[in-house]
Amino acid sequence: MKLNYKRIGDYIQELKVRNSEEKAEQLLGININKFFMPSVANVVGTDLSVYKLVRKNQFACNRMHVGRDYRLPISMSKVEEEFMVSPAYDVFEIKDTEVLNPEYLMMWFSRSEFDRNAWFYTDADVRGGLPWKSFCDMQLPIPHPDKQKEIVAEYNTIVNRIALNNQLLKKLEETAQAIYKQWFVDFEFPNENGKPYKSKGGEMMESELGEIPKGWEVGKLGDIMDVINGYAFGSSDFEMIGRIPIIKIANIVSPNIELQNAQYYSGEINTSMKRCLVESGDILISMTGSHVNQINSAVGKIGRYNYSTPAILNQRVGKLKPKIECSQFLYGVMLQEETQKEILMAATGSANQANISPETIKSVKIKKPLQQTLNQYEQLGNKIYKNIDNYEIEIRALGSIKDLLLSKLATIEN
């Protein structure tokens, strides 16, 4: 029952303010997650005066590919400075913000149900464009302005907590990497007296990888771990909803694994699949990808799985299985720029379709610490990543609450 629903087009007005004076310098696009981002378009020699301007509390959207992407890229500016968007974008604003709150409207646009509805209205074009009239004809509930403010405040409380947790996560990841560098690059791990090893006179020796502490060795990744290949699923095995998530290369968003858009498997787990199962703390690597060192598209990108429920690897995703107690050390090694470069250099294939083998990964040379040093680092690393796991669990829980709040917008009463 939609008696309380109103037509979007009755509350917004289209804007076509151009960058005619060329005062705006920043050109932004919109990603499918509905955020403004720096544009990747090559604008050298382009007349920027025809680009559209977006100001605070104004919206921009790209209606051209809704049928293809199953989403309407749309976002609202929250910044004081005006910026440019493509002339092909639509820019609009709310006619009366005392009647319809801009943040409330953006919440409505953020609903997965809104994207499904927008997809339904797309035209017959191969890209599935959404006509402007169809967009304006879409409807939403508009409760009393006070109710809108209450909903927005509740939503922002959740969003701000997620943002804070993400900041804390970043700090913890940076701390872990800083400690790794301190111990295994600068060799300032604690000596027997708890003092920094190298700066307090710790004995060093030459090796083929440069100077290393006395007693350390030059070895290979294969000395401390194996690489387990993913399972070759058939196309009919992939489901949108199922029993166990399948981790593809796209799910590795370094330094983590993201299951937000994962596909699933609901069949029986046979003997070959069991070795491809993934549990919390496992380190995964993409074995196919770009031959360019871009962390989220390159071959050899690394992610750490931190979900309580198991998953299963798809082909061309590998699991790094430690032979000794060294998970945190191994994770640190794999995230190092020099390790990534060595893997990229050893990859075969074209620039856009490079491949690495388990043997290639295992052949990468490393500086092997004493087991006692490894044990100390594992204890410290486990504490840090336990905190990281807790924050990520909370972020996912808050994300579920946020999605539930967005979903319930359809049933709001005054």
Asked if residue 194 and residue 59 are part of one domain, the reply reads no
Q: How many domains does the chain have?
A: 3
Please tell me the total number of residues recorded for the chain in this structure: 414
Asked if residue 104 and residue 25 are part of one domain, the reply reads yes
Asked if residue 262 and residue 170 are part of one domain, the reply reads no
Distances from the Cα of 403 to the Cα of 15, 59, 338, 396, angstroms = 30, 21, 40, 10
CATH of the domain at 413: 1.10.287.1120
The predicted structure's pLDDT at residue 292: 59
Does an H or E element contain 392, and which? helix 371-407
Buried-state track 332-366, b at ≥16 Cβ within 10 A, e below 16? bbbbbeebbebbbebbeeeeeebebebebbbebeb
Asked if residue 412 and residue 342 are part of one domain, the reply reads no
Q: Which pLDDT tens digit goes with each residue over 253-297?
A: 988 899 988 999 999 999 999 999 999 999 999 999 876 555 456
Among the three residues 347, 367, 387, which one is the final residue of a domain in this structure? 367
The predicted structure's pLDDT at residue 201: 95
Asked if residue 263 and residue 181 are part of one domain, the reply reads no
Cα separation, 26 vs 360, in Å, equals 43
DSSP class per residue in 22-73: -----BEEE-TTS-EEE-----TT--GGGSEEE-TT-EEE--TTHHHHSS--
The predicted structure's pLDDT at residue 296: 53
Asked if residue 64 and residue 111 are part of one domain, the reply reads yes
Asked if residue 51 and residue 9 are part of one domain, the reply reads yes
DSSP class per residue in 311-377: EEEBTTEEEEEESSS-HHHHHHHHHSHHHHHHHHHH-EE-SSSEE--HHHHHT-EEEE--HHHHHHH
The predicted structure's pLDDT at residue 213: 97
CA 5, 144, 117: angle at the middle one, nearest 5? 30
Tens-digit pLDDT profile for the chain (414 aa)? 455 799 999 999 999 999 999 889 899 999 988 999 998 888 888 899 999 999 999 999 999 989 888 899 999 999 999 999 999 999 999 999 999 999 999 999 999 999 999 999 897 666 679 999 999 999 999 999 999 999 999 999 999 999 999 999 999 999 999 999 999 999 999 999 999 999 999 999 999 999 999 999 999 999 999 999 999 999 999 998 889 999 999 999 988 899 988 999 999 999 999 999 999 999 999 999 876 555 456 789 999 999 989 999 999 999 999 999 999 999 999 999 999 888 888 888 876 788 999 999 999 999 999 999 999 999 999 999 999 999 999 999 999 999 999 999 998 765
Asked if residue 232 and residue 113 are part of one domain, the reply reads no
Bridge partners (DSSP) of residue 244 are 265
Domain that holds residue 114: 5-142
Asked if residue 64 and residue 16 are part of one domain, the reply reads yes
Matching residue, tokens 């709310």: 94
The predicted structure's pLDDT at residue 305: 95
Among the three residues 367, 386, 406, which one is the final residue of a domain in this structure? 367
Asked if residue 339 and residue 233 are part of one domain, the reply reads yes
Asked if residue 249 and residue 115 are part of one domain, the reply reads no
Asked if residue 56 and residue 21 are part of one domain, the reply reads yes
Question: Among candidates 160, 182, 179, 161, which has minimal Cα distance to 171?
Answer: 179
Q: Which pLDDT tens digit goes with each residue over 174-197?
A: 999 999 999 999 999 999 999 999
CA 129, 53, 124: angle at the middle one, nearest 5? 5
Among the three residues 142, 164, 188, which one is the final residue of a domain in this structure? 142
CATH of the domain at 256: 3.90.220.20
First to last CA, the chain: 15
